[in-house]
Amino acid sequence: MNDFDEVGFKTIVEKHWKYHRPCLHRLWSSERLEDAMQFEVAPVFQEVGGGSDDGMRVWSAFSIHLSDFFAEPGIETTEFGVRSYCIECTPTPFFGVRGKYKGRPFLLMVHLEPIADSKPVEVIDTNNNVVRAIKGE
């Protein structure tokens, strides 16, 4: 388990993740479980800078092309499913995948919206029409 290629795995996920408007980041967490590497990924909140929506917290919709992800070399999918929001057990709806990457077991949870209490990590600068990271994030 210690030799799970986290960088390679995240690179593959990000390759197939397409935001619908400018956004540079994803919110990642990872944890070594007894029998697998668990990853959670979610879209991030952005803060609007300038214009009439100055200071508003927003986020960009996204799509992830799962059939292409499943076809990547080194990815073997054994199970997948979805969960809707549940106040007791699921703070955001997500798509889950269990499988192996380069022969090593993984669990991947793709959250369909940002994690509710997460802070914005980007600014949408409406005056200069650019997206930039918030310093320190």
Per DSSP bridges, beta strands 122-125 and 130-133 are: antiparallel
DSSP conformational letter for 86: B
Q: Side chain identity at 64, as an amino acid letter?
A: I
DSSP conformational letter for 50: S
* Residue linked to tokens 């995240």: 10
On whether the CB atoms of residues 26 and 43 are closer than 8 A, the answer is yes
Please report the pLDDT score of residue 94 as a whole number.
92
Mean pLDDT of the chain: 91
Q: pLDDT tens, 54-104?
A: 989 999 999 999 999 999 999 999 999 998 877 777 778 999 999 999 999
Give yes or no for residue 1 having a pLDDT over 60.
Answer: no
Q: pLDDT tens, 112-129?
A: 999 988 999 999 988 888
On whether the CB atoms of residues 39 and 30 are closer than 8 A, the answer is yes
On whether the CB atoms of residues 60 and 45 are closer than 8 A, the answer is no
DSSP conformational letter for 84: -
The helix (run of H) or strand (run of E) holding residue 11 is helix 6-16
Please report the pLDDT score of residue 2 as a whole number.
63
Please report the pLDDT score of residue 137 as a whole number.
56
